[in-house]
A = this chain, B = another copy of it.
Amino acid sequence: MIRLQSYVADRFVDGTAAGRSFVDPTTGAVLGTIDSTGVDCADALHHARTVGGPALAAMSFAARGALLGAIADALQARRDDWMEIARKNSGNTTRDASVDVDGGIATLKYYARLAKGLGDTRMLIEPGADRLAKGPFEARHVWTTRPGAAIFINAFNFPSWGLWEKVAVAIVAGMPIVAKPASGTAWLAEAMVRAVVAAGVLPAGVLSLVCGSAEGLLDAVEPFDCIAFTGSAETGRMIRAHPAVLAANPRLGIEADSVNTALLAPSATPEAAAFERLVEQALAAVSVKAGQLCTNIRRILVPAGVEDAFVATLATRIDDLVVGDPALAEVTVGPLVDEKQLRAAFAGLAALAPETRTVRGGGIPATVVGADTAQGAFLAPTLLVADTGAVLSAVHDVEVFGPVVTVIPYATLDEAVDLAARGEGSLAASIYADGAEEAATIAARLAPLHGRVLVVDAEVGRGHTGHSIVMPQCVHGGPGRAGGGEELGGLRGLRFFMQRTAIQGSPTMLADLAAKATETSL
């Protein structure tokens, strides 16, 4: 039995209560326990602000980049261990685990390079100055590090990537971190932090991990802290309404429910390349990580005339998927992460039922390979079709966090855009259109509803990164229901951890300031 510890104020500490257990979702077997009772969250944050903050403030952007590189190296050296933990505790296939493990390491390396490019300064300055008076008086805008701590409350589906993508940006920005992984899959995050600590590359106070409850962290939040939360809209609301959060007014970034859309262009026929490209992405949506990605396709909008062909084609491909023990090479779909998620998915399916008919899946699979459906948290890859004549409401509102997609036919592009908008703001959309011009027109219309739009035209073909994959070069986050946050996007991600300030003064003083800063926009 594994017992996870918290790493706070540069020490590993144990919770004092029995805590909760975490499992192997393939077998239902208990792997270990996690608890943070008695862990002093206020002290952890104070230590981060007063020890970790100054340590990072003493380092240039380039030095912080070197630190990220060292973290990435320490993690890379034990990749096999992480892949195994991801399989055991998250039910990941090798492909699934790679998205989480290699995705995390790659994002660290990407930000290591970006930080190196910022050079030997600790401050950013935007290009251009505004003259404010007839005499020598101008304004420029600088970005400096907020003097607080970054609090990360992460989701269960990416214990590695979800931690390291945020840590990477915070460290470049100069902010120390106290992260809280989701308890059900915290093992990977805890083991990785243990390895990084053992590698001896972390300055004191820069990275802490609370394994257990986030409540103590919220209670101790201060005005210059930043809270980044990934998870359900309901928990997001709870954080926004938390008395300590309301009182301190820290910066708050939330990435929550998102009923993401894939859209087949009005011009597409079953013979179009775009048709096949969408089938591929829809298939990924009901297999990769068993559909447990915040960016996953949930709604598929297709022209009414091609609906039947699309549904038939996708159904056939779904029949080729193999659900079962992710340790087996032939398995393409693993279990959900635990019983609780399986129950939540069933509740979601029940909500969709009055508006949809089930073409494939919809419940526990008839057969799984190398596992027992009575023990594992398996959900069959599920293809739903919006019922003609049904009032569509739940299909736009309910995110079933599993391998479930709903196909919705549309008559005109205007109707398709309206349907997409019914999601009330999403993380990601994708558009499939052979012609670049048609694709660009649709992209401009979907843009305000989304944080990211993938456009697959004939020129792109198969050579894209996929609907669901978050690339560190691109902003990640969406408006409205998706939480309103924005992270990553290269240097753009630094905004969350830094303060933009207008500096008004003489050209000589501003030149002095600029000499100590790196010029860039975020």
Nearest CB in chain B to that of A140: its residue = B474
CB of A146 within 8 A of CB of B223, answer no
Q: Which of B135, B241, B459, B483 contacts A136 (CB 8 A)?
A: B459
Which of chain A's residues 489-506 have a Cβ closer than 8 Å to chain B? 489-490, 492, 498-506
Task: Give the complex CA separation of A490 and B492 in angstroms.
Answer: 19
Given the known inter-chain contacts A247-B237, A481-B223, A513-B443, please indicate yes or no for A448 contacting B147, CB distance below 8 A: yes
Given the known inter-chain contacts A137-B464, A452-B501, A454-B504, please indicate yes or no for A444 contacting B246, CB distance below 8 A: no
A455 contacts across to B, CB distance below 8 A:
503-506, 509
CB of B444 within 8 A of CB of A489, answer no
CB of A509 within 8 A of CB of B136, answer no
CB of A512 within 8 A of CB of B464, answer no
Task: Give the complex CA separation of A237 and B503 in angstroms.
Answer: 29
Assess whether A508 is interfacial by the CB under 8 Å rule: yes
Residue total for A at the interface (Cβ-Cβ under 8 A): 88
CB of B141 within 8 A of CB of A249, answer no
CB of A479 within 8 A of CB of B436, answer no
Task: Give the complex CA separation of A465 and B509 in angstroms.
Answer: 16
Q: Which of B146, B451, B499 contacts A501 (CB 8 A)?
A: B451
Assess whether A51 is interfacial by the CB under 8 Å rule: no
Given the known inter-chain contacts A424-B223, A444-B513, please indicate yes or no for A137 contacting B508, CB distance below 8 A: no
CB of B492 within 8 A of CB of A436, answer no
CB of A502 within 8 A of CB of B475, answer yes
Assess whether A453 is interfacial by the CB under 8 Å rule: yes
Task: Give the complex CA separation of A142 and B454 in angstroms.
Answer: 13
A147 contacts across to B, CB distance below 8 A:
421, 448-449
Assess whether A516 is interfacial by the CB under 8 Å rule: yes
CB of A144 within 8 A of CB of B448, answer yes
CB of B504 within 8 A of CB of A436, answer no
CB of A444 within 8 A of CB of B516, answer yes
This chain: how many copies in the complex? 2
Task: Give the complex CA separation of A55 and B350 in angstroms.
Answer: 41
Binds B, one of A36-44, A97-105, A126-134, A197-205: A126-134
Nearest CB in chain B to that of A423: its residue = B223
CB of A144 within 8 A of CB of B447, answer yes
Task: Give the complex CA separation of A141 and B142 in angstroms.
Answer: 22
Assess whether A139 is interfacial by the CB under 8 Å rule: yes
A465 contacts across to B, CB distance below 8 A:
132-133, 137, 504
Assess whether A3 is interfacial by the CB under 8 Å rule: no
CB of A459 within 8 A of CB of B509, answer yes
Task: Give the complex CA separation of A455 and B142 in angstroms.
Answer: 14
CB of B474 within 8 A of CB of A504, answer yes
Assess whether A396 is interfacial by the CB under 8 Å rule: no
A510 contacts across to B, CB distance below 8 A:
440
CB of B224 within 8 A of CB of A460, answer no
Task: Give the complex CA separation of A480 and B233 in angstroms.
Answer: 24
Which of chain A's residues 364-403 have a Cβ closer than 8 Å to chain B? none
CB of B146 within 8 A of CB of A479, answer yes
Query: What is the distance, in angstroms, from A3's C-beta to the closest C-beta of chain B?
Result: 37
Q: Which of B249, B473, B479, B499 contacts A130 (CB 8 A)?
A: B473
The 0/1 profile, CB within 8 Å of B marked 1, for residues 276-288 of chain A is: 0000000000000
A440 contacts across to B, CB distance below 8 A:
505, 509-510, 512-513, 516
Assess whether A439 is interfacial by the CB under 8 Å rule: yes
CB of A509 within 8 A of CB of B134, answer no
Query: What is the distance, in angstroms, from A325's C-beta to the closest C-beta of chain B?
Result: 32
A144 contacts across to B, CB distance below 8 A:
444, 447-448
The 0/1 profile, CB within 8 Å of B marked 1, for residues 452-475 of chain A is: 111111011101110000010111
CB of A481 within 8 A of CB of B448, answer no
CB of B502 within 8 A of CB of A451, answer yes
CB of B507 within 8 A of CB of A135, answer no
CB of A506 within 8 A of CB of B136, answer no
Assess whether A271 is interfacial by the CB under 8 Å rule: no
Q: A142-B444, A443-B503 are in contact. List 9 more A-B contacts (CB 8 A).
A: A127-B521, A133-B465, A136-B463, A139-B471, A249-B484, A451-B499, A459-B509, A473-B502, A489-B502
Give A contacts to B, CB under 8 Å.
123, 126-127, 130, 132-137, 139, 141-142, 144-147, 223-224, 233, 236-237, 240-241, 246-251, 254, 421, 424-425, 436-437, 439-440, 443-444, 447-457, 459-461, 463-465, 471, 473-476, 479-481, 483-484, 486, 489-490, 492, 498-510, 512-513, 516, 521
Can you offer 21 A-B residue contacts whose CB atoms are under 8 A? Answer: A123-B444, A130-B471, A134-B463, A137-B460, A141-B492, A144-B444, A224-B424, A224-B479, A236-B249, A237-B247, A240-B240, A241-B241, A439-B512, A440-B505, A443-B509, A449-B499, A452-B503, A455-B506, A471-B504, A473-B502, A475-B500
Nearest 8 A/B pairs, CB to CB: A223-B480, A455-B505, A474-B502, A135-B463, A459-B506, A521-B521, A440-B512, A130-B473
